[in-house]
Amino acid sequence: MALLKLKVKKAGLKNPKTKKMGFIARVVTNGTADFEDIAKEAGRNTTMHKAEVKLALELCMDAVAEMLKQGYIVDLGPVGKLYPSCNSTWVESIEELSLADVKPSLYYHASDEVQAAVNSAKLGWIKGSDEEDAEETLAPGTVSPTPSQGGEDNNGGTTPDPGTGGSGGQN
């Protein structure tokens, strides 16, 4: 397995609790691998033409979408699983919880292999026009020798992505 290298940047963010301005880290991606790119890569070193792979992938993705629309958990093998889910507000008593407080969502749980690759990613700061820091690369789990920047609730950029939180996810 190739070592994943992620570049991160410092981004300003207001702490929702204290309203104090601070900083978090955000991943700068390598771009987007679209459907065409995935089909081309999947067909590499095979006798299948890219168009055949693309058609097979389209049929699979149509089936995935249909299963999700029917409320099934979809196991995508080496990618992970997709779960119909929901988010709701917290209430003190059961009588206070109503369907108006529940919002449907979709939950993604990465496979062990994908999660391990992300967890072991090598991190490095991007160099920007306002960055004076030299590029610094840290091994997974290493703490930076420089003091942490940010507000009192600095979570290091681990803010949830839309559609990944909530209850009712995994079975």
Domain definitions of the chain by residue range: 5-138
Q: What are the pLDDT digits (tens) for 79-133?
A: 999 999 999 999 999 999 999 999 999 999 999 999 999 999 999 999 765 544 4
Instruction: Let me know the angle formed at the C-alpha of 170 by 166 and 171, rounded to the nearest 5 degrees.
Output: 140
pLDDT at residue 16, rounded to an integer:
86
Instruction: Return the higher-pLDDT residue of 1 and 34.
Output: 34
pTM greater than 0.85 (yes/no): no
Q: What are the pLDDT digits (tens) for 65-78?
A: 999 999 999 999 99
Q: Going by C-beta distance under 8 Å and a sequence separation of 6 or more, which residues neighbour residue 37?
A: none
What percentage of the chain reaches a pLDDT higher than 70? 74
Measured in residues, the chain has a length of 171
Q: For 71, left (φ over 0), alpha (ψ -120 to 50), or beta?
A: left
In the CATH hierarchy, which top-level class contains the domain 5-138? Answer: few secondary structures
Other CB atoms within 10 A of residue 82 CB? 20
Q: Going by C-beta distance under 8 Å and a sequence separation of 6 or more, which residues neighbour residue 151?
A: 13, 14, 15, 18, 20, 21, 22, 23
Q: What are the pLDDT digits (tens) for 144-153?
A: 433 333 333 3
> 85: burial class by Cβ within 10 Å (0-12, 13-18, 19+)?
buried
Q: Are 137 and 123 in contact (CB under 8 A)?
A: yes
